């Protein structure tokens, strides 16, 4: 699982809007620094965290802080991510249109925490062994080659049919800090390491994630 080209923006507008209800803009102490970027002052931070503690009704300013990132993850992870419909946008690479264009190799699948030694030592049905072996990857690649050679869409359909959930797909994602607070709350202890380790560790690299996303959420 990979996170690339992360961009975060909207802090200034978020904190300005945060003070709109009481017209308290003159009390803002945040500023732009040529080296550090946008620096949140003590007064703004105190108000922001008090609003976060007040719940979603009061912490609407978090929706103004946007995150854009390219995520490469397996299909089984994307199915769970797709439950987050509000405040998110995603454009994905097309499996339907591009699957046949590049060779199918082990690098096309999520194998980050696959323990081959453990897997081979467990008692599983012999038929299941094929599905995580080079033989199955060769089977998929053969279907791809047949489709390229014949242009017979039946081969393409079988390739789509048998594509495993571990197939990696890249999406350019747009979300915000409010969504990330919810994701962190409900996924930080998930049994999938893609959530509990990979995604959580990425969240912690975002600016002011400790103060906004993780705050009152541990």
| pTM to 2 decimal places | 0.85
Q: In sequence order, what are the residues at sequence separation of 6 or more whose Cβ sits closer than 8 angstroms to the Cβ of residue 106?
A: 134, 137
pLDDT digits (tens, 9 = 90+) for 47-85: 999 999 999 999 999 999 999 999 999 999 999 999 998
- Is it the case that residue 94 has pLDDT exceeding 60? yes
Q: Looking at residues 124-150, what average pLDDT do you find?
A: 76
Q: Which residues of 136-166 are buried (b: 16+ CB within 10 A; e: fewer)?
A: bbebbbebbebbeeeeeeebbebbeeebbeb
**Predicted pLDDT at 14:** 98
Q: Going from the N-terminus, what domains does the chain have, and what CATH number goes with each? A: 2-90+169-212 (3.30.1360), 100-165 (no CATH)
Expressed in angstroms, the distance from the first to the final Cα of the chain is: 24
pLDDT digits (tens, 9 = 90+) for 180-197: 999 999 999 999 999 999
**Predicted pLDDT at 106:** 85
Q: Which residues of 48-71 are buried (b: 16+ CB within 10 A; e: fewer)?
A: beebbeeeeeebebbbbbbbebeb
């Amino acid at each position: 699982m990979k996170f690339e080209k992360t961009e975060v923006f909207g802090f200034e507008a978020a904190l300005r809007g945060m003070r709109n209800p009481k017209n308290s803009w003159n009390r803002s102490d945040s500023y732009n620094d040529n080296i550090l970027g946008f620096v949140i002052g003590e007064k703004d931070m105190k108000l922001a965290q008090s609003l976060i503690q007040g719940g979603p009704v009061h912490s609407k300013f978090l929706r103004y802080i946007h995150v854009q990132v390219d995520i490469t993850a397996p299909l089984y992870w994307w199915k769970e991510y797709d439950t987050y419909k509000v405040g998110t946008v995603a454009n994905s690479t097309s499996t339907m249109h591009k699957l046949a264009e590049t060779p199918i190799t082990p690098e096309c699948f999520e194998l980050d925490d696959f323990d081959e030694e453990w897997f081979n030592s467990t008692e599983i049905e012999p038929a299941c062994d094929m599905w995580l072996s080079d033989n199955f990857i060769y089977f998929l690649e053969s279907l791809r080659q047949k489709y390229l050679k014949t242009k017979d869409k039946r081969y393409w359909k079988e390739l789509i049919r048998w594509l495993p959930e571990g197939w990696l797909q890249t999406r350019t994602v747009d979300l915000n800090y409010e969504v990330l607070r919810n994701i962190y709350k409900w996924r930080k202890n998930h049994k999938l390491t893609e959530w509990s380790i990979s995604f959580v560790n990425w969240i912690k690299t975002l600016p002011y994630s400790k103060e906004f996303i993780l705050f009152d959420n541990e």
